[in-house]
Structure 1
Amino acid sequence: MPQLNPAVMWSCGPLNGTGGAEDQPLCQHLHLVLSVFSLLYLVAGVPVGLGYNALLVLVNLHDQSSMTMPDVYFVNMAVAGLVLSALAPVHLLGPTASGWALWGFGSEAHVTLLVLFNVSSLVTMYSTALLSLDCYIERALPRTYMSSVYNTRHVCGFVWGGALLTSFSSLLFYVCSHVAARIVECSKMRDAQAADAIMVFIGYVVPALAVFYALALISRIRKADTPLDQDAGRPDPSVHRLLVATVCTQFGLWTPHYLTLLGHTLLALRGKPVDRHHLGILLFAKDVARFLAFSSSSVVPLLYRYINRNFPSKLRRLIKKMHCGRQSCSPDQAGVQQVMA
C-alpha cells in the first residue's frame, strides 16, 4: 500500500489520469468547497472555540462551590477543546493536511502535534462516555453521591493520564516507523497503521460502547418513573437534554475521523497496492473528517452555553466581580432572593 503523502492533501493529484475528464471538475469543486469551509472555520470557528472554551473554564473555576458533576466533565472537554482550537490552524493550513501549505515543519514537530491531537481526542471521547455513565448513576441513585464532584475530579485526572499513556504507546509506532532500519527492537512495529488501530479501538469503540450502554439504562429508567423522580434530589431535566445533545454532537463529528483511521488500517491489512483513484478518495475523506473533528471544539461549548440553566447566572457573577475589581460590590439582589427562597 502506498503511504499517504500529506503533500497531496486537498489536491486532485491522485485522481489525475484515472477517473476520466468528467471526474476532474467534480474533484476540484469538492476540494474548493472544503477549502472554503475550512477557511471560514479558521476565521470564525477557531475564535469562537477559543473564547467559549476559555469562558466555560473560567466561569466554573471561579465558582467552584456551585460546580456539579457534569460541569467538571465539560471543563475537561473545554480544556481539550482549547488544545484542538489551537492546533486547528496548523493542521488545516500546514503540510499535514493541504497541498497549499503556508509553512512546513520536520517530522518531530509533526509527531508532537499528532500526539496532542490524539490526547485531546481521547479526553473528549472518554469525558463524554463517563458523563453518560455518571448521569445514569445520579439518575438511578440520586442520594448516594457516587457521582460527586470530588470523585469526578479524580476520575478526570485519570482520564488525562490514560490519554497521555495511550498516545505514548501510539507514538512508539510512529517513531519506530522512522528508525526501524537502525533499531532491531522496532523491526516488528514499522507500520503507523498499528497506531491507528489502537486509536480506533481505545479512542472510539470502548467509549462508544459505554455511551450506548449508559443511554440504554437511562432510557429504561425514564420509562419506569418512580416516586424518587419527585424527590428534590432528582437531577435537573436540562442535564439530560445537554447529555443527549453532547453525545450526538461528539460522536457525530468524531465518527468520520475514526472511520478514516479504520479504513486506512483495513487497506493496509490487504497487502495490495491501492490505485490512485481510491487513494485520492481516502485522502479527501480524511480531510473532511479532520475538519469535522476540529469543529467539535466550537460546537460543544455553545451547546453548554445555551442548554445549561446555571451558566448565565455564573457568567453574570463573574462579570460583576471583574467589573467591581477590588472595590466592594453591593449584594446581588438575585442571589439574595435565592437565599431567602
Structure 2
Amino acid sequence: MWSCGLLNGTGQGEEQLCQDLRLGLWVLSLLHLVAGVPVGLGYNALLVLANLSNKSSMTMPDVYFVNMAVAGLVLTALAPVHLLGSPYSRWALWSLSSEAHVTLLILFNVASLVTMYSTALLSLDYYIERALPRTYMASVYNTRHVCGFVWGGALLTSFSSLLFYICSHVSSRITECAKMQNTEAADTLLVLIGYIVPGLAVLYALVLISRIRKEDTPLDQEAGRLDPSVHRLLVATVCTQFGLWTPYYLSLLGHMVLVSRGRPVDGHYLGILHFAKDLSKFLAFVSSSVTPLLYRYINKNFPTKLRRLIKKMHCGQRRCSLDPAGVQQVMAQA
C-alpha cells in the first residue's frame, strides 16, 4: 500500500523500519482481501436479505443494522481498489484516473457517514425506546424514514470532495474556486460532521442509557420490549465502529494540523502521515466485516430469520407453511 520513496535520503535505520512497516501492512491487507472481504460480503448480504425477507419481524435496531450492512457492502467492494490501488502503488493495473479516485473517495465517505450516523441514531433511539415505551417514536416506520435522510445527507456532505475537484480544474477561470484548490476544508467538514457530531451524540445517549438501566421498571419485562441482547449489541457496535474509525478521522485531523502550520512538511513526517492514512483506512475496511459478525453472534433472532430465508428460497414460488416462531414474534410485537 505504501511506498518508501518519500523517505529516500533518510537514515538506514528509518529506511529499514519503513520496509518492515510496508511489508506488515501488505500482509494485513492481503489477509483482509482473502478472508475479510468474502466474510464481509457474505454476512452483510445475509443480514440485508434475512431482514428484508422478513419485514414484518424487523425491529428498530434491525433497520439501522441493515443500513450499516449496505454501507458495509459498499466498503467491502471498495476494499480491493483502495488497499491495492494506493497512489504510491506501482501496479499498472491499479493506475486509476483522477476522476475514478474522486468517485471512490465519494463512495468511501458516503459509507463512512452512513455507518457513523446509523450507530449514533441507534444509540439515541434505543434510549427513547427505554425511556418512553409505547410512544412508537423509535418505531420501524420512523426509523426507515430517518435512514433515508441519513443517506441523502451523506451524499450531500460527500459532494464537497467533488466540488473541490471541479474547482481545481476551473480555478483559472473562476476567482472563487481559486480559494478552494486544496482539500483541507473538505476534510475539516468531514471530521466535524462525520465524527465529532455523531461521537457527541453517542456519548450523550450512552450516559442517558446508563442512568435508565439503574432504574429498571416492570415495563422492562414486557414481551413487546426490545430483547436485552440489544443492549450488548449496541455497546459492542459502538465500541467497534468508533474504535476502528477513529484512526481514520485522526489522520485527517493530523493532516489538517500539519498543513495549517504554513510550512512544507518534510519527507519523514509526510511518509509517516501517508502510512497512518493507509493503516487507518485498512482498519475502516475491517469494520465492515466485524459489524455483521457481531450482529450474527449477539442478536438472538438472526438465526431464526436466516432459517426462514433459507426455507423461502427452497420453497420458491410455492406457498410455504407458516413458521410458528415467526408468527409468535410478530404477535408479540403487535
TM-score by length of 1: 0.92
Please state how far the C-alpha of 1:26 moved relative to its aligned partner.
Answer: 1.7
CA contact (8 A) 1:72 1:153 kept: yes
Q: RMSD value over aligned CA atoms? A: 1.9
**What is the 5 A alignment of 1:282-321?**
282-321=273-312
Q: Map Cα deviations across residues 221-253 of structure 1 (whole Å, 9 max, x no partner).
A: 112223333334432110000000000000011
Amino acid in structure 2 at the alignment position of 1:16: N
CA contact (8 A) 2:3 2:88 kept: no
Please state how far the C-alpha of 1:113 moved relative to its aligned partner.
Answer: 0.8
1:72 matched to 2:63: yes
Runs (4+) off by over 3 Å: 95-102, 230-234, 327-341
Distance in 2 separating the partners of 1:228 and 1:293: 38
Distance in 2 separating the partners of 1:126 and 1:113: 20
CA contact (8 A) 2:102 2:161 kept: no
Name the residue aligned to 2:159. 168
Amino acid in structure 2 at the alignment position of 1:224: E
Q: Secondary structure at the match of 1:22?
A: helix
Please state how far the C-alpha of 1:334 moved relative to its aligned partner.
Answer: 4.9
Distance in 2 separating the partners of 1:157 and 1:339: 25
Cα distance 1:97–1:130, how it changes in 2: closer, same or farther (>3 A)?
Answer: farther
Q: Map Cα deviations across residues 38-62 of structure 1 (whole Å, 9 max, x no partner).
A: 0111111111111111111111110
Name the residue aligned to 1:10. 2
| Aligned match for 2:180, one of 171, 189, 199 | 189
Distance in 1 separating the partners of 2:189 and 2:153: 13
1:135 matched to 2:126: yes
Name the residue aligned to 1:3. none
Distance in 1 separating the partners of 2:289 and 2:27: 17
Name the residue aligned to 2:48. 57
| Aligned match for 1:236, one of 219, 224, 227 | 227
Name the residue aligned to 2:75. 84
Please state how far the C-alpha of 1:337 moved relative to its aligned partner.
Answer: 7.8
Cα distance 1:101–1:142, how it changes in 2: closer, same or farther (>3 A)?
Answer: farther
Percent identity at matched positions?
79
Name the residue aligned to 1:250. 241
**What is the 5 A alignment of 1:100-179?**
100=91, 102-179=93-170
Runs of 5+ unmatched residues, structure 1? 1-8
Distance in 1 separating the partners of 2:199 and 2:69: 20
Q: Map Cα deviations across residues 59-110 of structure 1 (whole Å, 9 max, x no partner).
A: 1110000000000000111111111111111111114463446321211111
Cα distance 1:101–1:217, how it changes in 2: closer, same or farther (>3 A)?
Answer: farther
Runs of 5+ unmatched residues, structure 2? none
TM-score by length of 2: 0.94
Distance in 2 separating the partners of 1:339 and 1:187: 58
Cα distance 1:133–1:338, how it changes in 2: closer, same or farther (>3 A)?
Answer: closer
1:198 matched to 2:189: yes
CA contact (8 A) 1:11 1:31 kept: yes
Name the residue aligned to 1:5. none
Q: Map Cα deviations across residues 270-293 of structure 1 (whole Å, 9 max, x no partner).
A: 100111111111011011000000
Q: Secondary structure at the match of 1:58?
A: helix
1:98 matched to 2:89: yes
Query: What is the aligned residue count?
Result: 332
Name the residue aligned to 1:227. 218
Name the residue aligned to 1:261. 252
| Aligned match for 1:323, one of 304, 314, 318 | 314
